[in-house]
């Protein structure tokens, strides 16, 4: 059986991102419990390797064009900004971080 060819869509979705943490993100990350921090690290691996991974449920925030949000857990979210192959981590925490962005 010949090897499967990747579709252009899957190749486009699998763009590796350079991650740039911001100071507010780092402060919020350190304040999280250790177990949640480990989940964040695992989800960041997914985000870096495949920003469209279904488990992230990544979506653009409604009132902005350049900020995104993805699921870390049922209650915890990651807010970030994407531009080409860069990803700035803006905040991480409970769902209210989505409501309080500038």
- Contact (Cβ atoms closer than 8 angstroms) between residue 13 and residue 50: yes
What does the pLDDT look like over 54-65, one tens digit per residue?
999 998 887 667
Measured in degrees and rounded to the nearest 5, phi and psi for residue 31 equal: -75, -15
Tell me, what's the pLDDT at 9? 45
Domains of the chain: 15-99 (3.30.2310.20)
User: Is-above-0.85 flag for pTM?
Assistant: no
Tell me, what's the pLDDT at 21? 96
What does the pLDDT look like over 3-40, one tens digit per residue?
555 544 444 455 677 899 999 999 999 999 999 999 99
d(CA 93, CA 77): 6
């Amino acid at each position: 059986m010949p090897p499967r060819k990747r579709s252009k869509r899957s190749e486009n979705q699998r763009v590796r991102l350079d991650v740039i943490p911001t100071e507010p993100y780092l402060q919020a990350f350190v304040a999280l419990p250790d177990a949640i921090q480990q989940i964040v690290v695992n989800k960041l691996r997914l985000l870096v390797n495949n920003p469209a991974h279904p488990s992230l449920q990544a979506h653009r925030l409604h009132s902005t064009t350049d900020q995104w949000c993805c699921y870390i857990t049922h209650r915890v979210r990651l807010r970030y900004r994407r531009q080409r192959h860069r990803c700035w981590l803006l905040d991480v925490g409970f769902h209210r971080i989505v409501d309080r962005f500038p």
